[in-house]
Amino acid sequence: MVWRAFLFDVDGTLAETERDAHRVAFNQAFKEHNLDWYWDEMLYGKLLNVTGGKERMHHYIHEFTDIDPNQENWNDLIKQIHKTKTDYYVSLLNEGLVPLRPGVKRLLEEARNEGLRLAIATTTTPDNVIALLENSLGKHSVEWFEVIAAGDVVKAKKPAPDIYQWVLNQMALKPNECLALEDSENGLRAATQAGIPTLITVNDYTQHQDFNEALLVVSHLGEKTNPSYQYENGEWNPIGTIDISFLQQLKKEKCI
């Protein structure tokens, strides 16, 4: 059995969008809505435990402010703030300042050449995904992905498996025919609960999370001039570039 599809997470996996784009856009939106909230890099790291921007703001109000969420119509307010945040986020990406992570473009192109099917499974808003793809891979790259599952398409966001189950359903694929590519424990839990083997590319915010259930944990996908490192038994060792033949071999050795 070989991989038939790669299912990509977006934030933290395709690009390091969280600290310098989502976080910045949230703060810009708070200012525009006359809120004195400011999410610094450390606080944002804690808030990332809750996936979804609207859900993250609700969590912040409950856990980090004295606001009584019942006193005003916070549901509507949060929707408005989130819309402003999405506009700022898309503008930031349109400036072209958020590059893809090492090896992402290379692996996507290889997968396309070899006829593997591609999909996106993410918590973020669809407009954000399109902005990232168009700005980093070109106008038509959205068409590379058979399914783009994003945002509120399912009610329960990661770590719930719903978004992955939705993608499997749309593509009529079995979990063990797919490899999920993720960067976080929440993402790993979502994919694993859907039965999908998962490759983790860690980043600064997620490197200390629990990835015991992952098929493979690496620093990034790697380029010839920027090799990847694999995390195993408490150590990081060079592994080169993660390409299709490496991944198909990994499936043969470690999966059914």
Q: Binding string, 68-107, against ligand XBP, x = CB under 6 A?
A: -----------------x----------------------
Burial class (CB in 10 A: 0-12, 13-18, 19+), 75: exposed
Torsion of CA 73, 77, 78, 80, to 10 degrees: 150
Name which of 121, 123, 120 is nearest 51 in CA terms. Answer: 123
Does residue 185 bind Mg ion (CB under 5 A)?
no
**87 tagged catalytic:** no
Residue holding tokens 């999405």? 86
Residue nearest to Mg ion (CB): 12
Q: What letter would DSSP give residue 232?
A: E
- 27 near ligand XBP (CB under 6 A): no
Do the Cβ atoms of 196 and 210 come closer than 8 Å? Answer: no
- Name the CA radius of gyration of the chain, rounded: 18
- 162 catalytic? Reply is no
Catalytic residue among 9, 36, 162, 243: 9
Q: At 69, list the tokens.
A: 């969420």
Is residue 186 within the footprint of ligand XBP (CB under 6 A)?
A: yes
User: Is 214 or 241 the residue whose CB approaches ligand XBP more closely?
Assistant: 214
Q: Which does 101 bind (CB under 5 to 8 A by kind): ligand XBP, Mg ion, none?
A: none
Question: Restricting to residues 201-240, which ones interact with ligand XBP according to CB under 6 A?
Answer: none
Listed in sequence order, the residues at least 6 apart from 2 whose beta carbon sits closer than 8 Å to its beta carbon are: 248, 251
For 34, the token pair is 């006359």
Partner whose binding site includes residue 198, from Mg ion, ligand XBP, none (CB under 5 to 8 Å by kind): none
Output the smallest distance, CB 25 to ligand XBP, in A.
Answer: 8
* Sole binder of Mg ion in the list 5, 6, 8, 11 (CB under 5 A): 11
Tokens of 185: 């424990």
Asked if 189 interacts with ligand XBP (CB under 6 A), we say no
Per CB under 6 A, 124 contacts ligand XBP? yes
Q: Rule CB under 6 A: is residue 52 a binding residue for ligand XBP?
A: yes
Distance from C-alpha of 43 to C-alpha of 72, rounded to nearest angstrom: 25
Distance CA 222, CA 215 (A): 17
- Residue 18 found at the interface with Mg ion (CB under 5 A): no
Residues belonging to the active site: 9, 11
Binding positions for ligand XBP, rule: CB under 6 A: 9-12, 18, 22, 51-53, 85, 122-125, 128, 158, 184, 186-187
